[in-house]
Chains A and B, each alone.
Chain A
Amino acid sequence: MIRAARSPLAVLALALALVAPAARSEVYQEPAAFITEVFGLLPAPKVLWLTKDLQAQAAAILGHPPAQLRQRYWSDARRSVWILEETGKEELITAGFVVADGRIDHVRVLVYRESRGQEVRQSSFLKQFKNAKLAPGDRLDRDIDGIVGATLSVGAMERMARLALLFDRISHG
């Protein structure tokens, strides 16, 4: 058996040597590039201050107090873009949310740092958020099907979507 195992080990070493130079990082898209893609240029950011009431609403969604006292966002007459972060299992997920007319227009995972659960960045998962809006209780108006083995990352994405919709609603006064 040990002889049989030598070949796979050699293959592993060879594979490492071949792929290492072509290494990519865990950043799928820089936030600035995402915003530029939405608006065609990088507009000046606007600031949403998290008042005491808004902090309480955000905490109710996140299950913990928000880490920020202010939230930058980018918007035009119809759309707003929110770059948010939330912990999946153990590391932060950075995602971009585009909200139009109070509904999620599209979502993209920009940075994924965990070693498992990357399936949440795939379009089959993210397209479930299309047109989602806030229902009473600041919940999404639909169920998001999870990814087996990525429960906590799925939960983090759902919480961020709700937060983006809440922030969008507040930003419109």
Chain B
Amino acid sequence: MSKSVLTLAVVAAFAAMPALAQTVDEKLQILQQEIDQIKAQQAGKSAAPAPQLSPYSLDYGTMLDRSSGLANGATNIIGYGEVAYSKFRQSGDATADLARFVFGFNHRFDERLTLHSEVEFEHAVVSAEDQGEAEIEQAWVNYKVSDGVNFKGGLFLVPFGILNETHEPPTYYGVMRNQVETRIIPTTWRELGVGVHGLFGEGFRYDVGVTTSFDSGKLDDPLTGIRSGHQEGQLANARDLAVYGALNYRLPGLLVGTGVFSGDTGQNGASNPALQGVAARFTMWEVHAQYRVAGFDLQALYASGTLGDAGQVTAAMFAADPATAFAAPKSMKGWYAQAAYHVYKRGNFDVAPFVRYERIDIKQAEDPANGLLQDPRNDERIKTIGVNFWVHPQVVLKADVQRYETDKTQDAYRLGLGFMF
């Protein structure tokens, strides 16, 4: 008897279901709607206050069936790194190095305000006896008004060239970063400052601002142009500031852009008293392009800069320490052209051989009387041939061979592993 009653009840229940659902899908939809209704009713009855949604965390839960967006106060971890093996052709020496490991915390304060940071460890070990360095590569706050207007402040990368802002190993060819964007453009080049950036039109991005400048009193490397005068936000002498501007145009597969940076570098003699009252204005500009079509990946860049009062900078270095002084750079030019072709692409695997030709020309303000002369290695041509093998879009294996026309000690075979997340 009881079984009959139960059977009747079940039949009655299904008969009473709305719309007399015929398919499993329709039944699921009805069940879903009922669950939603019950949830809504319970939310209405609950004495507890509804969870506070931030204005940007967009309650798409009902549409996406999952949480959406970052919660207020959320922090993300990002990072990248690279390992390099170099075998030098002339000396036979070889080195294996965890060239860098970088991690960063990005924090969202609210809908518009975000923090971006990167902490870099170079050469694996940092101590007084080792060559490793630990440094803050970026630490800046962005206030987004709209796509067209963002304000930023802090220690940020100068928008200059291709590599400086996009320098994760899977994004470039070759085990080492190209030399033009290392010796002429001091990648990874960051300054303390404020800026405005954003998009306009279809594909244009601008970035302008005011930052700290170089300090020519800190120059200590004759082979890298202005690079060794960078201050990297470390108690930077800021008597002299600089201005920068960049404009890039991006379409799918295409990037064309330019950048300019200009500022005095004498810093009123803060690092070298002999530079008191010396402007030593540094100005550099560059143009770059990248084009990807039919499996080819083509890239070129030209950069040119001048350091005013370079003769006085040379004299100041000699006055400070004749033993370590060298002829200061007075002009620096460099360009490279690179071509790659994706020969194999399947799943995550992507193999692309490449060739690159680089030209570096740094002219120094000589002081023959004191023996401070042009270093021949500052007139260099570099040929690189190699291959990138992405085993995942964010993990790459690399191999290349480099030939230097002037400084043969740098000729090398290299293997590398790079990653980013």
Some 6 contacts from A to B, beta carbons below 8 A apart, are A69-B65, A85-B64, A85-B68, A115-B114, A152-B394, A155-B393
Q: Given A9, A12, A90, which contacts B106 in the complex, CB threshold below 8 Å?
A: A90
Min Cβ gap A107→B in Å is 13
Q: Which of A26, A49, A84 contacts B28 (CB 8 A)?
A: A49
Whether A113 pairs with B70 at a CB distance below 8 angstroms is yes
Q: Per-residue 0/1 for A119-142: is the Cβ within 8 Å of any B Cβ (1 yes, 0 no)?
A: 100111100100000000100000
B210 within 8 A of partner (CB): yes
A1-37 interface with B by 8 A CB criterion: 1-2, 4-5, 8-9, 12, 15-16, 19-20, 22-27, 31-32
Chain A interface, number of residues (Cβ within 8 angstroms): 60
How far is it, in angstroms, between the C-alpha of A23 and the C-alpha of B239 when the chains are bound? 34
Smallest CB-CB A-B distances: 10 pairs: A145-B253, A145-B252, A148-B255, A5-B241, A90-B76, A1-B264, A24-B146, A1-B240, A68-B65, A67-B66
Q: Which of A5, A15, A144, A149 sits near B243, CB closer than 8 Å?
A: A5
Verify if B213 is at the interface (C-beta below 8 Å from A): yes
**Chain B contacts with A in 152-185, Cβ cutoff 8 A:** 162, 165-166, 170-171
Q: Which residues of A contact B112 (CB under 8 A)?
A: 23, 25
Interface residue? A101 (CB, 8 A): no
Contact call B264/A25, Cβ cutoff below 8 A = no
Number of interface residues of B (CB under 8 A): 70
Q: In the complex, A93 Cα to B209 Cα: how many Å?
A: 28
Q: Are A124 and B63 in contact (CB under 8 A)?
A: no
Stretch at the interface among A40-48, A51-59, A161-169: A40-48
Q: Are B145 and A92 in contact (CB under 8 A)?
A: no
Q: How far is the CA of A67 from the CA of B68 in the complex (A)?
A: 10
B64 touches A46 (CB 8 A): no
The CA of A159 and the CA of B115, in the complex, are separated in Å by 27
Smallest Cβ-Cβ distance to A89: which chain B residue: B78
B64 & A145 in contact (Cβ 8 Å cutoff)? no
How many angstroms from the CA of A128 to the CA of B251 in the assembled complex?
11
Binary per-residue interface labels of chain B (68-101) against chain A in the complex, 1 for a CB within 8 Å, 0 otherwise: 1110000010100000000000000000000000
